[in-house]
Copies of this chain bind each other. A is one copy, B any other.
Amino acid sequence: MTTEPLELTDLDLKAISVAKALAADAVEAAGSGHPGTAISLAPVAHLLYQHELRHDPADPSWLGRDRFVLSAGHASLLQYCQLFLTGYDIPVDGFIHFRSSTGLPGHPEYGHTPGIETTTGPLGAGFANAVGLAMAARREHGLFEPDAADGASLFDHFVYTVMGDGCMQEGIASEAASLAGTLQLGNLIAIYDDNDISIEGDTDISFTENPSARFEAYGWQVLDVDWKAGGAYHEDLQALHEALVTARAETKRPTMIRLHTIIAWPSPTKQGSEDSHGAKLGTDEVAGLKAALGLDPQASFQLPDDVVSFTRAHAAERAAAARADWDARFTAWQQGSPQQAALLERLRSGEPDEGLDAALPVWEVGDALATRAASGKTLTALAPVAPELWGGSADLAGSNNTTMAGEPSFLPADLARSEADGPYGRTLHFGIREHAMGGILNGIALDGLTRPYGGTFMVFSDYMRPAVRLAALMGLGSIFVWTHDSIGVGEDGPTHQPIEHLAALRAIPGLAVVRPADANETAAAWAEIMRRPEGPAGIVLSRQKLTVHADPEAARAGVHRGAYVLAEATDAAGAEVTPAVTIIATGSEVGVAMDAREALQTEGTPTRVVSAPCLEWFAQQDEAYRASVLPEAGLRVSVEAGVAMGWRELVGDDGVIVALDHFGASAPGTQLFEEYGFTGEAVAARVRDALARA
């Protein structure tokens, strides 16, 4: 292995000292924060941003950049300091007002600060994002430049992540690391900050495992860089650089560089102690730190011109050199691959293909199929017009119907099951790892060009909930496919039957929970989700067959607005009249509502049925539309096989909520629907009672 030369000047070393002091000062000014790791890893971050990463501070969204994910998000200042010093558009005020509404946020927030590739803080999440980012790069290589050799495409780049003990301990990282090993993501490099300290003190009270052996077991290349070796602590950037060169040279395995550090070094009394992790160091300690760094012990926010000029100029030079090459190749590619270039153009715009609606499958009213089956057929139909769409399942592809028929698997060549499978494949196999799946979907969505989806049973949305929340917080277009969406699951019993999940997911701000009532609504839901890349959606699908009630046009118009009149109230002559009763339902319970309507209409009670595939989209409609669908007058009734929570808002004090406020049981789904009152007759009876009481 030939090692690229690393030449560090005095200004490099001074810049590292400046970054350490800047981090300490920002925490001091805020009165709280996490100085320890931002200080001890400052040399690492400097090396990455000044010598290793391909990036352009003047263009944070440059397609050709490497990605950097600070999975140990509490050390946000580590990254902020480098973004500042390399010239991203960040004012120094951001540090002075750190952790306040006018400064840099406590944890890195995507969309808030230029150069931040993902929101981190919940531990392990960033690591899973990094795995997704590395997968996205592979897929895009295949999508745009399939004939380029591995590593030689415009779309190839490295994904670097810094993880701490928290990430190492969280299950999501274990899941993601194992999958990254299987997928042979040679474009992924994780630096593990092994400092033996977590919040409760020495990590060995809960963590005596050998993480190197663990990652080797996952199929990773593991390199050890020990700054504590040989007695005196030495921030040996040459050794780290050599490890990074070795990491980049390895194309078939992701690399974990285990870096042994002393937290907060060279803070005089708090180095190596958990006291430096999550609290300000204090005036004296900061002064001591600065003295040890050769800086003025008393001055805050020291940003010497020579340092800042040097770091910004050096970063700009490196960016210019990298871009000169990349931009030229990009222009040549655009000319040589007009079709792919047009696709890239469209994907960057976020617009779906014009042929999207025309590609949707349609069903006849009266057909009967599970919405999960309709979803599978829709995915297959969308495959040619939506090349940006790709995904898979957490080992439930056959049950979740997540595979686009005939699309190859995303697998390393030596695991391929068919000739088409390969590293650029479209069908993902996440294994039984829902949480990592969520984090990986988010990573893919963060990459920005493609739309990823991932499926599991709805009850296991709980396993991936932190990732769903982060997708909502970041406004990512991740798509979660949740099938087996109610007691309709049946025989597998209460561990597999969602009861509280619709409410609990709707509680997440910014998440669209989409529960289509039939096959046509399912197709329409996919199209609508494709049109809304600005936030995540969960598509909630039945295990059991459902009768098609909506014709394709009505379904598309209705789904677009979130809720709509599926069947109007009529009088004996069949003329539309003001409803005495409006039943609002979602998913499989729309059929129940239709049955109840039938019974009530027969008795002379004009009854409307509103199908409400997405309450969030409905809430976005104007007041007039909402009132026209769900009138104040008359009795309002909701029917949904889940907890009542949330429905009172829609049906009012006098309304009826047909809900399920306890866990299910192991028995056939039809029997449970009957037993728990989800039949047309039972709902009609509830309506009659309410009308009699009114």
Contact = CB atoms under 8 A, between A and B. Distances in A.
B470 A415 contact: no
Interface in A468-498: 469-470, 472-473, 490-496
A359 to B, nearest CB: 26
Contact of A431 (B206, B396, B417, B503): B206
A198 interface: yes
Contacts of A219: 208-210
Interface in A206-224: 206-214, 216-219
Interface string A105-126: 1110100000000011111000
B182 A175 contact: no
B100 A432 contact: no
A388 B169 CA distance: 28
Contact of A213 (B171, B173, B217, B652): B217
Interface in A51-101: 73-74, 99-101
A198 B662 contact: no
A495 B120 contact: yes
A534 interface: no
A663 interface: yes
A562 interface: no
Contacts of A675: 101
Contact of A30 (B429, B491, B510): B491
Nearest to A463: B466
A353 interface: no
Nearest to A504: B504
Nearest to A657: B649
B218 A206 contact: no
User: How big is chain A's contact interface, by range?
Assistant: 35 or more
A604 B206 CA distance: 58
Nearest to A121: B495
Contact of A170 (B214, B432, B470): B432
Contacts of A473: 494-495, 663
Contacts of A260: none
A30 B493 CA distance: 13
Given A175-B171, A396-B199, A493 B663 contact: no
Interface in A318-349: none
Interface stretch (A522-530, A585-593, A640-648): A640-648
Interface in A150-198: 165-166, 169-175, 178-179, 181-182, 198
A499 interface: yes
Task: Select the residue from A204, A466, A496 with max chain B CB neighbours within 10 A.
Answer: A466
A99 B463 CA distance: 25
B122 A460 contact: yes
Interface string A215-235: 011110000000000000000
25 contacts: A30-B491, A99-B667, A100-B668, A105-B665, A106-B491, A106-B496, A121-B492, A121-B493, A166-B432, A169-B433, A170-B171, A170-B433, A171-B175, A198-B431, A199-B398, A204-B415, A205-B411, A208-B219, A212-B217, A213-B216, A463-B466, A470-B495, A503-B504, A504-B507, A645-B649
Interface of A: 30, 32-33, 73-74, 99-101, 105-107, 109, 119-123, 165-166, 169-175, 178-179, 181-182, 198-200, 202-214, 216-219, 393, 395-399, 409, 411, 415, 417, 429-433, 435-436, 459-460, 462-463, 465-466, 469-470, 472-473, 490-496, 499-500, 503-504, 506-510, 643-646, 648-649, 652-653, 661-663, 665-668, 671, 675
